[in-house]
Amino acid sequence: MGAGIRAAISRRQQREIDLIHEAGRKHARKELDERIDEAVKKARKAISRGDHRAAQRYADQANADIFVRDMEGAGDVDLLGRP
């Protein structure tokens, strides 16, 4: 009986942990998408004022964030870029 209760508590705790991780992934993905959008906006503004060096810097930042997002979607890394 004791082991069954521990297993049930363990399963419930694991579900809660999984839900917390999923919420964290969604939040991190949303923040990453916002960072990408912001970098693209900054790159466009830099291009419009003729600052191509800054535009390239912002585009590189957006590309790096897109790469991390896509790799996380494939399951190769987490949203912090770790394998």
pLDDT value for 76: 61
Per-residue pLDDT of 46-65, as tens digits, reads 999 999 999 999 999 999 88
pLDDT value for 74: 64
Rounded-to-integer distance, Cα 22 and Cα 38, Å: 24
Rounded-to-integer distance, Cα 67 and Cα 61, Å: 10
Answer whether 0.85 is exceeded by the pTM. Answer: no
Rounded-to-integer distance, Cα 47 and Cα 39, Å: 12
Host H or E run for residue 83:
none
CA distances from 36 to 7, 45, 60, 67, 83 (A): 42, 14, 10, 11, 21
